[in-house]
Amino acid sequence: MKTKFTQILKQRYYLLFFFSLLLQQSYAQQQITVKGKVTSAIGESIPFANVIIKGTTNGAVTDFDGGYTIAAKSNQVLVYSSQGYKSKEVSINNQTTINVTLEEDIKSLNEVVVVGYGSQQKKDLTGAISVVKAEQIQKRTVTTVAEGMQGLVTGVKVRGGGRPGQEANIEIRGLKNLQSANPLYVIDGLVTTANRDFNPNDIESIQVLKDASAAAIYGSRAANGVVIITTKKGKKGPLQVEVSAKTSFTSMPTYDLMGTEEFAKLNNQAYDNAGLPRQNLNMAVDTDWQKAVFKSGLIRDYNASVSGGGDNSTFFMSGNYFGNEGTVVGTDFDRVSFRVNSSGSKGIFSIGENLAISNAKTDEMAGNPIIDVYRMTPTIPLYDAANPGGYGYGKQGVADTFGTNPLAISDFANTINENFRIRGNIWSELKFASWLKYRFNFGYETSVDSYSFLRKVGNWSLNQPIDPSRINQNKGRSQTKLFENTLTFKKEFGKHDLTILVGQTFQKDNYDQIYGEKLNVPINSGTGDYYDVLNQGNNPVVGGFRNEATLASYLGRLEYNYDNRYLFNAVMRRDGSSKFSDANKWGNFPSVSAGWRISNESFFKSEFINDLKLRASYGELGSGNIGNYEYKSFINNFGQIVLGNTQSLYPSATVVRLSNEDLRWEKLKQTNIGLDFAVLNNDLRLTADYFIARTEDVLFGFPLLLTTGSDGGEPISNAATVENKGFELELAYSKKINDFSFNASINFTKINNKLVELGNGQNEFFSGNTITREGSAVGMWYVLQTDGLFQNQQEIDNYKNADGKVIMPNAVPGDIRFKDINGDGDINNNDKEIVSSPWPEFEMGLNAGAEYKGFDFSMNWIASHGATVYNGFRSTVDRFDDNSNYRAGIQPWTPENPNTDFPRITKGSNLNSRGDSDRFLESGDFIRLKYIGFGYNIPRSVLEKAGIARARLSLSAQNVITITKYQGLDPEFSNGNIFERGADIGAFPNLKTYSFGVEFAF
C-alpha cells in the first residue's frame, strides 16, 4: 500500500515537473541583464526569493544557490523579497551584478492576517486576533490541530489526551455557551471542522479570531471563536519537493498500585473492620494489570509535498500517513490524507481549488482500561478457563468486584470507526479594477462514515449475563454545500484607506444514516473469527434517518484607515437558519471596532517606543448550534407492547420528548479592549487584551422538571446567561546577535466564568458532584466537607450540634468527621455546599527558542494554577466498601496507627467511602514541559552535491517534565462534560512522547 502511494507520488512528481517547466516564463527584454546572489545575514543563500522590478509585475526567482538573472532597464529599482525576510529595494544604476543580503523579519508586524473573506495587515488590526505559526504545531506530534495549539495562544485553552484518534477539546476565551466549546474552523474558506482526519502538516498559517469584531463576519457560527486555517500553496518558482518523516514513541504514566501481598493485608483488614468473613483470596496470583494492558505506543507521521508555480499559476500537493499504535491494547488510529490545490489567472479572471481527501480509521478503546486496571485486584488472574470466554474476573467470595477485565472487553467488544472525507472548494475571482473584486466560492465537503461494533460471546465481569453475539453497524454520509458571493472594494484616497466588503452565502448540510443490528452472529468456520457483516445472525433491527439544515446569510464589512493613525472597522451579518421556527429564523449580528495608532501621531516622538496602538471593539455574535428540528415535538413509534393470549406485539406511539417552539438565536455580546506595544527596536513586543463576553439566551437542554415526564434528551431552550471576563497578555522578545538568535514569549490568560442567570425558572443544575447555580461559575464543586478523623469514642459522642444532638452517632473511631453545615444534627444532602472551583485562576505558556548556525532549540512550557480537580482514581481505590486494588503504601487509621489522614478502612457501608465529599478534591496546579526539541540543519555545502536544498534532523520530547501535586495520572486531563470539567474520571492521560524526525527539501 505504502509503496504504491509513493509510486503515485513519483509519477505525479514527474508530471508536475513537466508542467512546471512549461509554466516558467522569462521576461527578457532588450535591456541590460542583472545577475547576482541573494543571501541571508549569516551568508546562506536564499533560494526562491522574488526579485521584482518595482512598479511592474516582471521579476525572477532565485535558484537553489540564491542566484538570479533578470533583464531590466538600468534606471529601474529591484525589489527583493522572500518569506521570513524583510524586503529590500536596490536601484540598478547600471550595475550588472547586485548581491543582496536580506535581513530576517522576526518582528512580523507587517504580517498579513487572514480575517475571513479577506485579509488585513497585522498592524491594522482592531480586533483580537492571534496568529499561530504553523511550524510550532507541526514540530509536535499531534493528531489534531487543536492539540498542537496548546500553550501557544493567549485565551485558547486546549485539553487533550493520548488515546489514539482522540480529539482535543479547545475553548477560546472561556466557556461561552453550554453545548460545545469548539470553535468554528474555516479551512481555505470552507466552514468545516478540523477533526482527526485533517492533516496538520498541510497548514500554512493559523489565525484565531477571538473577539466579536474579528469573528463577526462569520456571524451565527462564530460565538466560540474562529480558527482560520490556510493550507500551504504553491509559490512561484521551480518545483519544490519536501519530504518529512517523524517517528515517536509514547509511554503511559502508571499508577502505583499494590501487589497481592500488600493488597491481601488491607483487604482482610477492611473485611475484619466490617465484621465480615474475609475473602478466600487467591494468594497464588499476583497480576499486574497495568503491565498486561499498557504498552509503549508508536506514532509514525510521514509527509511528502510537491509545489511550484509560475507567474499565472501555482500548485501544491501533499500526501500524509499518520499511524498511532496506542499505549492500550486494542487501540489504533490510521490516517491517510492527500491534498492538492492550484490556482491560475488570466487577465481579470483567476480561479483555483483546494481539495483534500482523507481516510481515517480508529480501532476504538473498549470499556475504560484506565479505570479497569485499578478496579481489578491483583488476586484475579488474567485468564480463567472456568469463565465463559476464558478471561479472569471477579469471583464471589474470592475476589468480589464487578471490575471489568480490560483484555476481555477488548477481545469481546470491538468498535471500529472509519470515515472517508472529501473536503474542497473551487473559487474564482474577477478583478474588474484594481479596486474592485468579485469572488465566488463553492465549497463542498462530504464524509462517508462507517461504524462497526462486534460483540463476541464471552464475559468480562462477575455476574454478567451471557449475552449473545451481536453486530451493530451504521453507515452515514454527511454533505455540506456552501455558496458564497462576495464583492470587495478597496481604494486609497490620499490618507483615507477604505475597504468595503459585501457578500451573500448559503450553506446546506445534510446527513443520512442507515443502521442495522443482528444477534447471534456465528463464527465463520473457515477463519475461526466471527462474521463481521450484517449478513449473518438473527433478530434483525434496521433503521435510518436523514437530517437537513440550511443557513442563508448576508454580510458586510467596512474597514477604514486614516493616515495609519485611526482605524475603524464595522461588520454586519444577517443569518437565517432552518433550525428555528419561522418567527425566529433570522438574527442580526453587528460589530464595530476601532484602533488608534498613537505611535504614528505627530505629537508622539519616541525613539524608544516603536509601536503603540489602542484597540476597542464591541460586537454581537450568534449561535444556532443545535440539532435540526429542535423546535418541534415528534411522535416516537419505536415502542411496542405485549398483549393477548398469544402474547403478541402491538404498536405504541406517543410524544416522548417535549420541545420549545420559540427557540431563538443564542447571542454573545463581547467587548474587547486591547493594547499593542513594541519597544527596543521592535525587539520587545506586548499585546494585552481585556474582554467581557456575555452570552444571552444560551441554547442548552437543562433538565426539565422530571414531573413533565419528558424523556429522550433534554429539550433545548434558551436557558441561561453566561459571562466570561478575561485578561490576556502576551509578551515576546526576540534578538539576533551575529549568528545567534533567540526568542522568548510568555502568554498569560485569566478568565472568570460566571453563570449570570438560569432560564426556564430553574435555580440550580446538578451534574455529578457539581452544581451550576446563578452567580457562580459553571460546575462548581458541591460536596460534603470532611473535618479530620475521629480518634476515639469520646470525640464522636462530643460531636454535637447546637441542640446537643450527636451528629454522627454511628461513627467508629477512625471514621471521617463530616461538617454538619446546616446544623440539623445529621449528615445528609443538605450539608453540601460549594467548596471550590474547577476553573483555574490563570493559565500560562512559555515559549522559547534559539538558533545558532545550523542548530536550533525550542521549548514550550504550560502552567495552570488555581483549579480544584476531582481525583476519580482515588475516589475508587480509597473507598474500600467496594473492592478494587489500592494505592501502594497507604496507611489507614487503626488504633495502633492513629496519626494518619487515611480513615479506617471497612468493607461495610459508611460515610467514609462516599464519593461526594471533598476528600477526593485536589489541587490541579501543574507546570509542564509540553514540548522540547532540538534540530540540526545540515549545512548547504554538504547537501549541494546531492542536490538537496535543505535537510534537517530533529529530536523532540513532549510531556516529559510535569511538576504537580496531583495524585492522578495526569493533571492536564480533559473531561468532555462541560459541567464536570474538573472531574478526572478515567480520562486518558497525555503521553510522554519521544520523537525523531527528518526533513528534506529539494
Partner 1 sequence: MKKIIIITVVFLGLFFASSCENELDQNSPNDLTEDQYWKTESDAQAGVNSIYAMFYKDGLWARWIYFRLDLTSDEGYSVSPWTELADWTRFNYVNYNFWEGNVVTWRDTYKAIFRCNQVLANVPNITFQNEEDKKKIIAQAKFFRALHYYYAAILWEDIPLVLEPSKTTDNPAQVNVTEVYAQIEKDLNEAFTDLPPSWGDDQTGRPDKGAAKAFLAKLYMQQHKWPEAKTALEYLITGPGAKYSLVSNYRDNFTDTNENNNESVFEIQFGDQRKGGTGEDQNAAVSSNRGQFFAPRGIGWSDGQARFWLIDAFKQEKNKDGNLDTRLRWTLYYPDLLADFGDKTYGRNWEWNNNEAWFRKGSRDYYRDNEDYYSQVNYRLIRYADILLRYAEVLNETGNTAAAYQYVDMVRARVNMNTLATAHPEIGNDHDKFLERLKTERVLELAGESVRWEDLKRWGDLNSQAAVDKIALRDPDFNNFVVGKNHRLPIPQNDANNNPNLEQHPEY
Three-state DSSP string of 170-203: EEECCCCCCCCCCCEEEECCEEECCCCCCCHHHE
Residue closer to partner 1 by CB (options 485, 897) is: 485
Cα(398)–Cα(417) distance, rounded to whole angstroms? 38
Q: In angstroms, what is the minimal distance from the CB of 646 to partner 1?
A: 7
Sign of the CA dihedral 400, 401, 406, 409?
positive
Q: How many CB atoms within 10 Å of residue 586?
A: 17
Residue closer to partner 1 by CB (options 589, 988) is: 589
Residue closer to partner 1 by CB (options 276, 888) is: 276
Q: In angstroms, what is the minimal distance from the CB of 552 to partner 1?
A: 5
Q: In angstroms, what is the minimal distance from the CB of 112 to partner 1?
A: 26
H or E stretch including 942? helix 940-944
Residue closer to partner 1 by CB (options 288, 881) is: 881
Residue closer to partner 1 by CB (options 798, 828) is: 828
Cα(41)–Cα(544) distance, rounded to whole angstroms? 64
Q: Which residues pair with 312 in a beta bridge?
A: none
Amino acid at 247: T
Residue closer to partner 1 by CB (options 67, 703) is: 703
DSSP string, 308-367: EE-SSEEEEEEEEEEEEE-SBTT-EEEEEEEEEEEEEEETTEEEEEEEEEEEEEEEPPPS
Q: In angstroms, what is the minimal distance from the CB of 882 to partner 1?
A: 5
Region of residue 338 (left: phi > 0; alpha: psi -120 to 50; beta: else) = beta
**Residue 588 is placed in which grid cell?**
442580526
Q: In angstroms, what is the minimal distance from the CB of 793 to partner 1?
A: 19
Residue closer to partner 1 by CB (options 492, 548) is: 548
Residue closer to partner 1 by CB (options 648, 792) is: 648
Cα(643)–Cα(650) distance, rounded to whole angstroms? 7
Residue closer to partner 1 by CB (options 94, 654) is: 654
Residue closer to partner 1 by CB (options 356, 921) is: 921
Q: In angstroms, what is the minimal distance from the CB of 57 to partner 1?
A: 19
Cα(276)–Cα(551) distance, rounded to whole angstroms? 65
DSSP string, 810-854: T--TTSEEEP-TT-SSS-SGGG-EEEE-SS-SEEEEEEEEEEETT
86 SS3 class: coil
530 SS3 class: strand
Contact criterion met (CB below 8 Å) for 321 and 331: no
Q: In angstroms, what is the minimal distance from the CB of 483 to partner 1?
A: 5
923-954: burial string, b at 16+ Cβ within 10 Å, e else: bbbbbbbbbbbebebbebeebeeeebbbbbeb
**Residue 27 is placed in which grid cell?**
521576461
463 SS3 class: coil
Contact criterion met (CB below 8 Å) for 167 and 143: yes
Q: In angstroms, what is the minimal distance from the CB of 202 to partner 1?
A: 27
**Residue 43 is placed in which grid cell?**
551568508
Q: In angstroms, what is the minimal distance from the CB of 702 to partner 1?
A: 9
Residues 6+ positions from 439 with CB-CB distance below 8 Å: 427, 428, 429, 430, 484, 485, 486, 487, 488
Residue closer to partner 1 by CB (options 440, 742) is: 440
Q: In angstroms, what is the minimal distance from the CB of 166 to partner 1?
A: 27
Q: In angstroms, what is the minimal distance from the CB of 684 to partner 1?
A: 48
Q: In angstroms, what is the minimal distance from the CB of 176 to partner 1?
A: 24
Residue closer to partner 1 by CB (options 249, 451) is: 451
86-100: burial string, b at 16+ Cβ within 10 Å, e else: eebebebeeeeebeb
Residue closer to partner 1 by CB (options 94, 763) is: 763
Cα(881)–Cα(912) distance, rounded to whole angstroms? 9
115-134: burial string, b at 16+ Cβ within 10 Å, e else: bbbbebebbbbbbbbbbbeb
Residue closer to partner 1 by CB (options 743, 801) is: 801
Sign of the CA dihedral 954, 955, 959, 964?
negative
Q: In angstroms, what is the minimal distance from the CB of 546 to partner 1?
A: 5
Q: In angstroms, what is the minimal distance from the CB of 778 to partner 1?
A: 16
Q: In angstroms, what is the minimal distance from the CB of 459 to partner 1?
A: 11
Q: Which residues pair with 650 in a beta bridge?
A: 641
Alpha helices in 383-478 (DSSP H): 406-412
Q: In angstroms, what is the minimal distance from the CB of 333 to partner 1?
A: 29
Cα(406)–Cα(328) distance, rounded to whole angstroms? 9
Residue closer to partner 1 by CB (options 87, 510) is: 510
Residue closer to partner 1 by CB (options 475, 865) is: 475
Cα(998)–Cα(56) distance, rounded to whole angstroms? 40
Q: In angstroms, what is the minimal distance from the CB of 544 to partner 1?
A: 8
Cα(605)–Cα(599) distance, rounded to whole angstroms? 8
Q: How many residues in the chain? A: 1002
Q: In angstroms, what is the minimal distance from the CB of 470 to partner 1?
A: 8
Q: How many CB atoms within 10 Å of residue 253?
A: 16
Residue closer to partner 1 by CB (options 484, 843) is: 484
Contact criterion met (CB below 8 Å) for 729 and 687: yes
Residue closer to partner 1 by CB (options 582, 803) is: 582
